[in-house]
Structure 1
Amino acid sequence: MAIALQELQMYKNFDELARDVLDLAKEILPDQLIYLTSFSDAQQIILKLSNYDTKILLTEGMMIDLSETVCDRIDFENKQPLVYEDIREQTCPSELRNTLESVNAKSYLGIPISLVDGERFGTLCAVHHEQSKFDQKSIALLQRIVRMFSYYLVLERFANRDSLTELYNRHYLSQIFEDHSESGGVVFFLDLDGFKKINDLHGHDTGDLVLKEVASKLEKFADEYNDAFAVRLGGDEFIVYFSHIFSEEEMSKRAEHLLDCLSTWNADYQLSTSIGIASYSEGSNNDLNTVLKNADVALYQAKTAGKNTYKFF
């Protein structure tokens, strides 16, 4: 589960620390353009540049298809840097040479940045418009900087993600709501029907596996909409949050689709989902606790209506 750019922007002091990382790297390789990137599932994002070098055609915020980047060729599994001191040498594959030449880079150093669990975050890179010499001491120092940066990423992720399901948590939801509350939005409050029986009959380990499967289905559902993300509040309670307001007809369509996504289970599990829906209008004085309470009231109505359905507040 890649760290989304929106999530990074919520990390405390991220911009300051990213700048410190680049400044330290610049002390080690003063002649190079240093840049920090992150990966999504399909793209590489240039997060920060040490400076603007008019000879190197890279800019902050640039997004590149991951399959077309040099950084995607780095050995993340073994945490090994990728080094080309002169891309005109035969050791540099022609397709990588073409990619680097397209931004006017003649040398490249890429250090992989991974989280503790091995998940790829992105890279710390150094490029120059002329050939360069990268000594092992400099590379080792950059790897130490990257390692410290990865520890920071993990700590911030713990603050924003649910430890069991890896979905976002209430802390992250509160931050996003605070930043987007004036634009209006919609909350789907979900509760699993029959989950307690699964825990009682099959044990909590099985219950945890079911929660993880629910999380996976919710994440796939949220990925279908560019304004949505999924949250685990705790236990078997989940939220799907939409950061824009839309019609009741569209809400019904999305709720029915979500119920369908959560309808297929192991035959041993008698499991369904109830959904309470609450929206809040643009420009009003909105409060997350109030919106969640409204959605919870609608959820109770869905439960009393026979479960496996949705109700509006």
Structure 2
Amino acid sequence: MNFKVANDLLDLASSLIEGKFFYIGKFENNTFTFMKVLDNGMVVNVNDGDTINISESYCQQIFRDREPVIISNTDTHACTKKLDLTKIYNIQSYVGVPIFYQDGELYGTICAIDNEKSKFDQKEADVLSRFANLYTNVVELERKAKIDELTSLYNRRFLYESFDSICKHGALVLFDLDGFKEVNDHFGHEVGDSVLKEVGKRMKDFLGNNGLAVRLGGDEFVIVLPDVTENSEIEIKASSLLKILSDWEDYDYNIRITVSIGISLFPRDGLEVSTLLKNADIAMYHAKKSGKNTFQFFNTI
């Protein structure tokens, strides 16, 4: 996230709205992360990057209804009267509006809170909505820089730029689709693209919040499994991935696709992402030589 832009927007909001605490937050699965906060004397113990469950957040109603919310008395409002934050920080008023990506997907919120009741009305919501529209352009540019447009997975650039910050130990799982060229040749690239999208969806479902899914390009993909270093655990995950990505019986088209997987562990097989990818690619080559639809560890070649 562009923290300077976020900070500037909150400064501008603070100059136009009488509130004691402002923040921009992001929804992800069932969590809410405070991406940037601005405290004007309310002394709320929340910092940039802090994450809470959506059910504990003042923004839960926006997550559900995707519309601006104005709360004049948090002690009587159904969503906030039972929240610990209300009592701990004596929050009395809240105004929040949703931030969307350009395709309509919900990104998060921009909000203000205060210790006085009835502090905010529609005027403040309208101001925040204008800032939310501006911020949409920021998050959309950042999204395009790191997200593969076809599959909505992370892209190669993001993997290279962010790998060092993901974790220090884990597994890098590289695979491509056996039989994908035949799908393109027989059914055309439109069907090929739909297959790639389906692979991306299955990867996301497979990982949940427990890893990073990347499309390197073409039909080549990467999964990063942070803090997973035991061969036995990785073998279980690799076997599951083989099964998930080789089952096309109920697909719209009669296709035969399997995957060949190469696995490198870090830091054992390398520290740099380029080294890990090279070693995983060597392992994937051996998986293909072994008959495809299987996996191979780099260190056992």
Range into which the TM-score falls when normalised by the shorter chain? 0.7 to 0.9
Shift of 1:184: 3.9
What's 1:8 paired with? none
Instruction: Tell me which of 224, 229, 232 is aligned to 1:241.
Output: 224
Amino acid at match of 1:312: F
1:41-85, Cα deviation, whole Å (9 max, x unpaired): 1122223321164465655544333234342213887x6421123
1:77-156 equivalences under 5 Å are 80-87=67-74, 93-99=77-83, 101-102=86-87, 103-156=89-142
Shift of 1:187: 1.6
What's 2:233 paired with? 250
Shift of 1:252: 2.0
Matched, 1:26 2:26: no
State the alpha-carbon separation in 1 of the partners of residues 127 and 149 from structure 2: 31
The structure-2 alpha-carbon separation of the partners of 1:63 and 1:297, relative to structure 1 and needing over 3 Å to count, comes to: closer
Structure 1, 183-192 or 19-28: larger mean CA deviation: 183-192
Matched, 1:15 2:3: yes
What's 1:47 paired with? 35
SS of alignment partner, residue 74 of structure 1: helix
What's 1:175 paired with? 161
SS of alignment partner, residue 247 of structure 2: coil
Given that 2:58 and 2:79 are in contact with CA atoms closer than 8 Å, whether structure 1 keeps it comes out as no
Given that 2:228 and 2:234 are in contact with CA atoms closer than 8 Å, whether structure 1 keeps it comes out as no
State the alpha-carbon separation in 2 of the partners of residues 23 and 110 from structure 1: 16
Given that 1:56 and 1:105 are in contact with CA atoms closer than 8 Å, whether structure 2 keeps it comes out as no
SS of alignment partner, residue 265 of structure 1: coil
* Count of aligned pairs between the two proteins: 293
Q: TM-score, normalised by structure 2?
A: 0.87
Given that 1:186 and 1:245 are in contact with CA atoms closer than 8 Å, whether structure 2 keeps it comes out as yes
Matched, 1:186 2:150: no
Shift of 1:30: 3.5
Give 5+ residue unaligned stretches, structure 2.
Answer: none
The structure-2 alpha-carbon separation of the partners of 1:62 and 1:301, relative to structure 1 and needing over 3 Å to count, comes to: closer
Shift of 1:300: 1.2
Given that 1:107 and 1:131 are in contact with CA atoms closer than 8 Å, whether structure 2 keeps it comes out as yes
Shift of 1:94: 3.4
What's 1:231 paired with? 214
Given that 1:55 and 1:129 are in contact with CA atoms closer than 8 Å, whether structure 2 keeps it comes out as no
SS of alignment partner, residue 39 of structure 2: coil
Note the aligned Cα RMSD (angstroms).
Answer: 2.6
The structure-2 alpha-carbon separation of the partners of 1:250 and 1:98, relative to structure 1 and needing over 3 Å to count, comes to: closer
The structure-2 alpha-carbon separation of the partners of 1:292 and 1:58, relative to structure 1 and needing over 3 Å to count, comes to: closer
Shift of 1:166: 0.4
SS of alignment partner, residue 286 of structure 1: coil
Shift of 1:165: 0.2
What's 1:297 paired with? 282
